[in-house]
Chain A
Amino acid sequence: MKDTNGYWTFKIRKKPLYIWILRLAWVLWLVFWAEVALGSKAELETRAFFISLSVLFVSLFVGLMWWWIGLNKHKKQSK
């Protein structure tokens, strides 16, 4: 995000369409498991709650790591 002439400018790196589809699928996957975790908690299903919460955090972590590694690679290439 850059401040130019009183405007905030966001830069979104160009990516092939399949990457955007993968990102969307990842977000939907996270939302799905978050919903399952919350629902299981409301249902008092302890094991289901912990399993879904674990899947959610693992997915979040793996996705963020993947993104972060890709970002670093890009930064190195730009230099």
Chain B
Amino acid sequence: MNRRDFFKYGLGSAGVVVGGSIAGGTGDMDSVSQKSDFQHPWWVKQIKTPKLGIDEQIYSRFEARKNVFGSMVKYYGMENLRELNKRSREKTRKYYKEQKPGYRLEDRALADAAWVISRQGGLNRGTRSWTANFVRTPEERGVDKYRASPTEAAHLIKTAARYFGAATTGVAKLDPRHIHSKERGKTVSFETADEPYENDTNLVIPQKCQYAIAMTVLMPIDNIACSPTAISSAGSSIGYSRCEFLVAGLAEFIRGLGYTAIPSVNDLGSSVAIAVDAGLGELGRTNRLISPEFGPMVRLCKVLTDLPLALDKPIDFGLMEFCKVCRRCAESCPSGCISYEDEPSFKVKGEWNNPGHKAWFEDSPKCLAYWQESTSGCSNCIAVCPWTKKDKTMIHDMVKAASAKIPALDAFFNSMDKSFGYGRQKSAEKWWNTNHFEYGIDTTQGKE
């Protein structure tokens, strides 16, 4: 290139860059929201309906009591449960005596303490109250309620959610079948009402609440990598506590704009189903959400609202094909509760599964029993998943992109992941000597 060419092409390129910046800078609100809202990577495809379909004839609202936490005695047997608890207590004492790393007093104290904020809320209780805790409504301020286009409102909500700690946020039209039919002994019903309320028999959601804001909260990967120990339990617990803060904050914010908001974590309905509809991830072999950016290293929560919001679409990043050949979660599961089957199906494993949707269904009572057996819970399936990565090197993004686009490489990627030592249990002892990020999470992950 001679001097003339240099100036010709060089100045031309500079002109394009400057022109582009000016054009971008004078965009309307829609272009602003596109720029600043979280976007999935280029290899994530938006689709019309979630990949693992629903059987419209069968899928219906689930009674919360049927889940494994509500009916463990029924599923596992009272006598077996007593025996299990006894064994668990003996092991706990033994581990204290041996000062076994990950099971010592300080480890367990950390795990319990990390629940502290989560314990402030429950279904329509405390931080998860269905009515305003203290925020001033537009009426009280003497102004009109917030008015904007659904796109602008979605941008506003996503920005606020991020501010309160969401890693990713998506909006779905609320499918009432994702909401529990009964919970805490009360019927959850949809009625024409101005505000949500609770009486002796019912928990009433106003029919106008047609939007579900689904959010992921990152869990500290260094904790979960120590699974199964109390250090990994602390990772789950702090995830729940951060969910609590997030939904409480976002619900109050929405009320402050003059709209109804119903905050929820694991209560009220299936966060996984709502998050899949809202395009935050796909359903993996664990029958849990796997996000393209963070894998299963997330906790989920949601807020139902009547604020009109632009909807997001479900996504496909080739996870189903990957899970078919991977099985790392099933292999690492000490209780053997995760399915080894080649294909997802409609066949449930027991009453604890909500039938009518395609999935790799899990044997939940075995999982919960192992939580007791290990004396401190278990997150092995989350720790070993090849989609669980800190993104400090570009190879992870390259592999994820290639897996999404060329499923034939999935088996190779899985075996390479194993060979490189990803997913091996980390030392709970070393955890105490690591210089952690605040809350144990790198909030820049997936943002570049």
> Residues of A at under 8 Å CB distance from B?
32, 35-36, 38-40, 42-48, 51
Contact = CB atoms under 8 A, between A and B. Distances in A.
Given A38-B392, A44-B434, 10 more contacts: A35-B394, A35-B395, A38-B393, A39-B394, A40-B392, A40-B420, A43-B392, A45-B420, A45-B421, A51-B419
A43 B390 contact: yes
B424 interface: yes
B422 A44 contact: no
A36 B393 contact: yes
Contact of A43 (B393, B394, B419, B424): B393
11 contacts: A32-B395, A38-B392, A39-B394, A40-B392, A40-B393, A42-B390, A43-B389, A44-B426, A45-B421, A47-B424, A51-B421
Residue from A38, A39, A42, A51 having most chain B Cβ neighbours under 10 A: A39
Contacts, number: 38
A35 to B, nearest CB: 6
A46 B394 contact: no
Interface string B411-430: 00000000111101010000
Chain B residues touching A, range: 10 to 19
Nearest to A51: B420
The DSSP consensus for interface residues of chain B is loop
A71 to B, nearest CB: 29
Interface of B: 222, 389-390, 392-395, 419-422, 424, 426, 434
Nearest to A50: B421
B421 to A, nearest CB: 3
Contact of B421 (A35, A39, A42, A47): A47
Residue from A35, A40, A46, A51 having most chain B Cβ neighbours under 10 A: A40
A44 to B, nearest CB: 7
Contacts of B389: 43
A75 to B, nearest CB: 33
A23 B389 CA distance: 32
Contact of A48 (B222, B394, B420): B420
Nearest to A39: B393
B392 A48 contact: no
A32 B398 CA distance: 11
Contact of B393 (A35, A44, A46, A47): A35
Contacts of B419: 51
